Each structure stands twice: as structure tokens, then as C-alpha cells.
Structure 1
Amino acid sequence: MEEEDFIDPKNLPIYKKGKEIFEVVHQICELIPDDNEILQHTKEHMLADAAMLTVKVAGAEGGGLYDLKMENATIIRKAARDLLVQNHSLEAFGFKEVAYFQIVRDLIEEYRLLFIDWVAGFDQWDYIIDRWGLFNPPGIGPFDKDTDDDVPFDPNDFLE
């Protein structure tokens, strides 16, 4: 990745929205009683999931390859969906302030829309073949021939 191509992830709308979600989740988690072990466990999961919404954006932006970006995007999607489900755990185990979680749900919907645009902007031509077959650009398969295999390479050319 060229230096002029570098985008600071902190300037991206999706990163900023992820940070906002983390801050709101953190505030809600501060309301969870310390003496409720199950809710404390839920709190840990919520904070970890909320943190993924920024951490993995930064990771995706740091590595230019399509498959790495898609892998990070998958982790983000899972974390956001898991975060939505935590509302049910909070309610089931007696959290009194569960109504505040609607704020998180609304923010995640805004995040989801930013996520769609962000993923659509991934460069599908900046890839290596994912031999596991999960994160290849459209039209590329795990058994395709890698055109880089045809490029002659002699490591001694670089050691002299």
C-alpha cells in the first residue's frame, strides 16, 4: 500500500460510529450491578463485541488485501449481531435498565448501513487467493491458478 493511499481508520464514518456504539455500551454497562455474576459476564461480552466494531475496522484498513478485509468484516458482523442479542440476556437476567439498549440497537442499524458502503469499497483486485475458499473476490476460487506462480523469482537476485 502506497503512503498516499493510507486512510487513517479513525477518520472513517464506520470507525466513528463504532466508537460511539462502544461509548454507549460502556455507559449502559456501568449500570449493571456488581453483585450479579451472570450480568457481569454479559457485560464482558458486550464490551468485547462493541470494541470489535472499531478494532477490526482498523485491522482491515491496515491490511490492503481483499481477503484480510473480508475476514475482519466477518468478525465485525458477528460482533454486531452478538451485541444485538445481548439485550435478551440483560432482560432475562433481571437488568432493570434494559430500555436503554434500544439506543444501541438504533446505533447498530446506522452502523450496518455504513458497513455495507464500507465493504462495497474494498478493492477486489488487491487479493491473494484464499485457499480456504471463504474470502475470495467474486469469480475467484480456492483452486484457481495463481498468476504470480508464473513470475520467475530467484532469491539470489536479491542477495547479491
Structure 2
Amino acid sequence: MLPPDDDEGFTVPEKLPLYLKGREVFTLTKKIADLIDEEDEILTSLKDCMLLDAAFLTVKVAGAEAADLYDLRMENATLIRKAAQDLLSHCKSLEMFGYKDVQYLRLLREAIEEYRFLFVEWVQGFDPWNFVNDRWGLFNPPGVQAQEEDSD
């Protein structure tokens, strides 16, 4: 599936299925978070973490699309993956700490699973040969070694 482009051929993140699903996850997370009693410090802390993690699902997609380089896209993809996994962990924490409306957490888990499928497809579309060498060696394409010195 080709990414939606604007008139100049640039990908418009806001039109990507992954981005749109990320917005859906954020909206659902916000509705769940709004049900948290502000008097409960632990749940309120989890609420803040959940909203931040849910926001990453769109913000980092936009950042990756703007960067267009494999190494920067992979770095953003890593942060997205971590945020999604943390969001799932927060659901479990909500249950453990007495969140009353647990029936809505299943909806969030399902939405994150749908997001995951779109994420896998999105990452597979990265061009591994459009990169700047990552001197730390984490985000280079397969087979590319980290350079010891800047090539500048």
C-alpha cells in the first residue's frame, strides 16, 4: 500500500492508516482517563503516563515521516513500539490499582492490536538504503556497520 501524498509528492502523515488508528487509540485512552477519579494519586499518575504514551502513537509517526531517513524512522518506530507496550502495561496497572471501569480496557487493548498490525506494515515500507550511518550502531540497515568517525 502506497502512502497518501500531497500535491508535491510528500507523505501526509495525517492520512496514513497508522496515524488515523493512533488518533483513535488516543481518543479512546482519553475517554478512559477521563473516568479516573482525580483524588486517586496512583491512578492519576497512570492517567498522565497513558495520555503521553497514546500521544506518541501519532506524534512519532509524523516525526518519522518528516525525517524520511531509515535510521531516524527506525528510531521513531522504536519509541512508538515502547509507547504502545507501555500503554498495554498501564491497562494492567489500572486493573491492579482499582480502576472501576475495566470493561473499557478491552476496547483499548483491541485498538492497540489493530494499531500493531498497521505498524508492522508501515515499518516494512521503510527504505533501508535511504539512511545516514548511525554511529551508535542501533538503527543502521541490516548489514551496515557503525562508522567509528564522522565522514564530515
Length-normalised TM-score, structure 1: 0.87
Is 1:129 paired with 2:137?
A: no
Length-normalised TM-score, structure 2: 0.91
Counterpart amino acid of 1:67?
D
Count of residue pairs brought into register by the alignment = 146
- Tell me the SS of whatever aligns to 1:48: helix
Unaligned runs of 5+ in 1: 154-160
What is the distance in 2 between the residues matched to 1:36 and 1:28?
15
Whether contact under 8 Å (2:134, 2:147) holds in the other structure is no
1:89 deviation in Å? Answer: 1.1
Counterpart amino acid of 2:37?
P
Partner of 1:44: 48
Partner of 2:89: 85
Partner of 2:116: 112
The CA RMSD measured in Å over matched residues stands at 1.7
What is the distance in 2 between the residues matched to 1:136 and 1:81?
23
3-12 or 74-83, which deviates more: 3-12
| 1:1-160 matches, cutoff 5 A | 4-143=8-147
Runs of 4+ in structure 1 over 6 Å off: none
1:144 deviation in Å? Answer: 7.9
Partner of 2:4: none
Counterpart amino acid of 1:129?
N
1:145 deviation in Å? Answer: 9.0
1:143 deviation in Å? Answer: 3.3
1:88 deviation in Å? Answer: 1.5
